[in-house]
Amino acid sequence: MSSRLIMETLQSEFADHLAKIYVQHEDEIQVELLSERLDWLPKICLFVHHQWKAFFVSAWASDGCKQEHQFKLHYLFSLDNEKLFLVIHAPVSADQPDFPSVAAHLIAANWAEREIQDTFGLTAVGHPNPKALWSHPDWPSSTFAMRKDFSIHSNPTRVDGDFPIASVEGEGVLEIPVGPIHAGIIEPGHFRFSVAGEPIIRLQAQLFYTHKGTEKLAEGLSPERVLHLSERVSGDSTFGHSTAFCHAVERMCGLTIPERAQSLRILCLELERIHNHLSDIGMIANDVAFLIGYAHAMRVREDVMSLNERLWGSRLIRGVNALGGVRRDLSLSIIPEIKSLMIKVREELRELDQILMNSASVVDRLETTGILHQSTAKDIGIVGIAGRASGLDRDFRRDHPHLGYSRLTFNVPTRQTGDVMARTQVRIDEVMESTQIIEQILQKIPDGPIKISTPELPKSAFALGYCEGWRGPILHALETDSHGAITRYKIDDPSFHNWPALLFAVQGNIVPDFPLINKSFNLSYSGNDR
């Protein structure tokens, strides 16, 4: 279906409620709601969701109070089959800062709306679970960090308060508090387990400990500086996040980067996928006390990390992405080394796969542990590897081709069981795919420049940038003001969508399996908290 047909359908259904509808950057349908028709927001969202089986991707707000005396809501949907995005923009008057909750009908928008409530002070009326998400209990209730009248340098006084943790009662029910400082070398977050004996009845999480104000920091900064911020949204996805940001800037300026730069970006994205997946496979083996599996996985991963260092000068591929391309070129002489490492990774992983899957102690721990059912995954909007392991066959590389992924042939591995085993196997399969994607890239790496210069950002513009990171789709949205300065930078990490999945997947499992289940999702705290 073409974007024109979609626009016509929307136009005929909602003509009286829409201010504007148009296509931007080829694959973004922009729908602007009339300000007095805010109550139609959920209806339009649901229509889009049902009519075109559109997936909810993200929702965020921006503050335009100074110029227009209104906030703006943005609801983003992905029409996978049509390879299109659809963004619904809805103005919210500053005099009446509330809006009808979409999450009341589409639970995937749950966290996004709660974050909007906490950071912009816009109330989602009818939200099924409107408690604080972003705000910690010591954050003053009427202070909204993302509003323009809140200075980034302010330091709100701490107030008294407790976490809004629901209590689970009954004979033999215990609460186990964990964190924020955890026992391993991992990021901080607070978990509260309610258990009866060993099985977990309910898990509640308090995140946003690592909130660093990244989105707010970007406001007013030059895009070159924001690029370095984007590299530090989530360290493990350095290249994914910086690619999404560069993509947003490039789309906003109407640039297509040189083919060589596209190929180099794919190379980096796939290297990032390989090193993270190998690490996760190793850590999963570690968490079932199968140390030999851990040691071999980590040994091979370290080969990839040191290749990164030789290729780009940085193990985490930092300082490589640039607006309009990449900063570092690939020398011909190193290509055979990459090729032979890809063969090594495949062979080693095949062997490791056999070792793991033939060990009863491993298989027994992985199978049927931490099941995330497909229907749950679909309802709460789970993305990336976690979604694919629960049968959701979605991948931005195929569904929203970027960077020339459409010129490559690759499979999108999926599993149906949704357990730790499925998430492990999806990773193993993806590493295999990534190695052959890299081989395809090296086969026909185009000559030419690696970077083109970027003009100044256009004024009062909006653009999306995205890529399929190793964990799942990464999406950045950029807005500029009437001077062309960045006025809103929204970062959407797949972790933000997948954290709720963990809370479902652990139910009924025993506490000692929690670290394993947690690892099998391997969600980023920093990417979630920003």
Partner 1 sequence: MLKFLRKSLQTGLVTTQYPRLPDLPPENFLGAPVINFEKISIERLKEAEKVCPTGAIAVETDGTRSKASLSYASCIFCGRCAEAVPEAITMSQEFELATFFKARLITSAEYVDGKLTGVHLPKREASIEELGERVRDEIFKTLGRSLHIRHVDAGSCNGCELEIAALQNPIFDLERFGMHFVASPRHADMLLVTGPVTRNLEIALQKTYEATPDPKVVVAVGACGCSGGIFGESYASRGGVDKIVPVDIYIPGCPPRPQALLHGLLLAMGRLSIH
Dist CA 201 CA 479 (whole Å): 43
* Cβ proximity to partner 1, 235 vs 484, nearer residue: 235
CB of 185 to partner 1, least distance (A): 5
Residue (315 or 398) nearer to partner 1, CB: 315
- Shortest gap between Cβ of 178 and partner 1 (angstroms)? 11
Closer residue to partner 1 in complex, CB, 176/292 = 292
Minimum Å gap between C-beta 322 and partner 1 is 10
Instruction: Choose between 70 and 276: whose C-beta lies nearer to partner 1.
Output: 276
Q: How far is the CB of 97 from partner 1 (least distance, A)?
A: 20
Cβ atoms of residues 415 and 389 within 8 Å: yes
Give the nearer residue to partner 1 in terms of CB position, either 173 or 217: 217
Tell me if the bond preceding 494 is cis, omega within 30° of 0.
no
Residue carrying structure tokens 């809501």: 73
Give the nearest distance from C-beta 261 to partner 1 in angstroms: 17
CB of 371 to partner 1, least distance (A): 27
Task: For residue 283, give both structure tokens.
Answer: 């850590």
Q: How far apart are CA 126 and CA 472, in angstroms?
A: 30
Joined together, the tokens standing for residue 291 give: 């140390």
Shortest Cβ 206–partner 1 spacing (Å): 10
**CA-to-CA distance for 16 and 14, rounded, in angstroms?**
6
**Rounded Cα distance, 123 and 113, in Å:** 9
Beta bridge pairs of residue 92: 71
Rounded Cα distance between 22 and 30, Å, is 5
Q: Give start and end residues of each alpha helix (H) in 52-183.
A: 65-68, 110-120
Cα 112 from Cα 60, distance rounded (Å): 7
Q: What letter represents residue 137's amino acid? A: P
- Choose between 180 and 484: whose C-beta lies nearer to partner 1: 180
* Contact between 393 and 412 (Cβ < 8 Å): yes
Tell me phi and psi for residue 454, to 5 degrees.
Answer: -105, 135
* Distance separating alpha carbons of residues 85 and 272, to the nearest angstrom: 25
Nearer of residues 146 and 371 to partner 1, judged by Cβ? 146
Query: For partner 1, which is the closer residue by CB, 46 or 295?
Result: 295
Nearer Cβ to partner 1 (4/299): 299
Which among 258, 257, 250, 255 is positioned nearest to 447, based on CA atoms? 258
Phi, psi angle pair for 182, to nearest 5°: -95, 170
CA-CA distances (angstroms) from residue 310 to 239, 269, 313, 335, 370? 16, 16, 6, 12, 38
State how far the Cα of 274 lies from the Cα of 432, in Å rounded to an integer. Answer: 9
Neighbours of 161 (CB within 10 A): 14
Q: How far is the CB of 105 from partner 1 (least distance, A)?
A: 32
Closest distance to partner 1 from the beta carbon of 291 (Å): 10
Among residues 39 and 351, whose Cβ is nearest to partner 1?
A: 351
> CB of residue 339 vs partner 1: minimum separation in angstroms?
18
302 phi and psi angles, rounded to 5 deg: -65, -35
Catalog residues that contact partner 1 under the rule CB under 8 A. Answer: 136, 145, 150-156, 180-181, 183-188, 208-214, 216-217, 224-225, 228-229, 232-236, 238, 279, 292, 295-296, 298-299, 301-302, 305, 309-310, 312-316, 318-319, 327-328, 351, 355, 524-526
Pick 29 or 244: Cβ nearer partner 1 = 244
With beta carbons less than 8 A apart as the criterion, state whether 394 and 387 touch: yes
Cα separation of 221 and 152, whole Å? Answer: 13
Closest approach of partner 1 to the CB of residue 139, in Å: 8
